């Protein structure tokens, strides 16, 4: 384990913590601009986190210790997920654990904790949001696994670092399977990050909200950790998409210069991805909750078709 690998691992975690709220602010700003609204400041998520961390926490009367612990576990899961995704470099000490199944398991663990915490208080909104969250996860996680398996069939490995290294060194070519997987991944990302058309992060209407219903009873530092974790989840999914479909620019050489050059490349790719996300949300309409299974079922089928295309074409064999 080299000192540069340890440094790149720590740098990746620090950049995830720093850039995740900025990415959220960038998406919110472009979303408001595309809708001809007054755009919030780019640093508004940082101001919100600062305000929440300095407030006094108010807990529900019947909340247990699990309710108090859940935000810390969820935040840790999202940070660990960002740490095992090769964002700046493939020379990571955690790369042996950077497996596609382990990554989906971290997302599932965070979902279980936030759902159980929402039901712990016993409010109707928390239970409603937990049931909807588990429904989305039940359909989204298999689709995400199929997307990751589609890329792993090309590279013959489920390791994220191996996938990035293999795809970045291959000749530029259009893989039909990756096109299908890319569409499926976009649909899953929208659902997993509570974005339009599956959910609306700006609403508190009980008939439509999913994520907001889960955190409705939280306040102060606990709410700040959950909001930060939501930004980290958006950052993680963005980096997964970049690693699978746009792996170029990630440092592979064991040199500080390559690591420093990978940072501006990552920022540029995230900026473009954030703008496209805001554009998709602007052009889409919020669908009814009963249509979400059809939406995610379509994503799963597209990912499975991508796998079958790999088999038929003999890609990676």
The whole-number pLDDT of residue 315 equals: 66
**What would the mean pLDDT of 23-49 be, rounded to a whole number?**
93
pLDDT: which is higher, 76 or 164: 76
Within 13 A of 268's CA, how many CA atoms are on the CB side? 9
Q: What are the tokens at 174?
A: 């259009």
Q: Print the domain residue range for 219.
A: 3-313
Within 13 A of 310's CA, how many CA atoms are on the CB side? 24
Q: Is the confidence at residue 283, as pLDDT, over 50?
A: yes
Q: How many CB atoms lie within 10 A of CB 183?
A: 16
The C-alpha atoms of residue 167 and residue 315 are separated, in whole angstroms, by 12
The C-alpha atoms of residue 82 and residue 77 are separated, in whole angstroms, by 9
Work out the pLDDT band at 43, boundaries 50, 70, 90. very high
Number of domains in the chain: 1
The whole-number pLDDT of residue 317 equals: 44
Q: Which of 143, 148, 199 lies closest to 310, judged by CA? A: 148
DSSP result, 231-287: HHHHHHHHHHHHHHH--TT-B-SSSHHHHHHHHHHHHHHHHHHHHHHHHHHHH--PP
pTM: 0.94
SS3 content of the chain, % helix, strand, coil (to 5): 70, 0, 25
The whole-number pLDDT of residue 172 equals: 66
Residues 217-264 have pLDDT tens digits of 899 999 999 999 999 999 999 999 999 999 888 877 667 777 888 899
Q: From residue 175, how far is each of 27, 74, 264, 278 by CA, in Å?
A: 29, 35, 27, 26
């Amino acid at each position: 384990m080299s000192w540069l690998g340890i440094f790149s691992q720590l740098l990746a975690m620090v950049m995830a913590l720093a850039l995740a709220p900025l990415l959220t602010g960038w998406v919110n700003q472009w979303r408001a601009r595309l809708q001809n609204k007054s755009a919030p400041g780019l640093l508004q998520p940082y101001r919100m986190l600062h305000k929440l961390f300095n407030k006094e926490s108010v807990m529900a009367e019947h909340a247990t210790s699990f309710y108090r612990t859940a935000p810390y576990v969820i935040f840790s899961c999202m940070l660990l997920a960002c740490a095992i995704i090769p964002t700046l470099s493939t020379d990571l000490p955690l790369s042996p654990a950077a497996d596609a199944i382990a990554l989906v398991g971290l997302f599932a663990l965070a979902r279980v904790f936030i759902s159980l915490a929402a039901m712990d208080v016993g409010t109707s909104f928390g239970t409603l949001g937990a049931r909807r969250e588990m429904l989305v996860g039940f359909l989204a996680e298999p689709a995400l696994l199929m997307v990751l398996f589609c890329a792993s069939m090309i590279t013959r490995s489920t390791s994220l670092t191996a996938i990035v290294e293999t795809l970045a060194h291959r000749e530029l070519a259009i893989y039909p399977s990756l096109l299908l997987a890319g569409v499926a991944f976009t649909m899953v990302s929208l659902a997993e990050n509570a974005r339009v058309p599956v959910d609306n992060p700006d609403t508190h209407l009980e008939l439509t909200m999913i994520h907001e219903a889960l955190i409705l009873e939280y306040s102060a530092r606990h709410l700040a950790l959950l909001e930060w974790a939501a930004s980290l989840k958006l950052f993680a999914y963005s980096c997964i998409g970049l690693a699978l479909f746009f792996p170029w620019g990630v440092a592979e050489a064991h040199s500080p210069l390559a690591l420093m050059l990978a940072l501006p490349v990552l920022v540029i790719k995230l900026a473009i991805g954030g703008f496209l996300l805001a554009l998709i949300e602007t052009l889409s309409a919020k669908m009814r909750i009963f249509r979400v299974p059809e939406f995610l079922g379509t994503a799963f089928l597209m990912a499975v078709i991508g796998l079958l295309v790999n088999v038929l074409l003999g890609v990676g064999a």
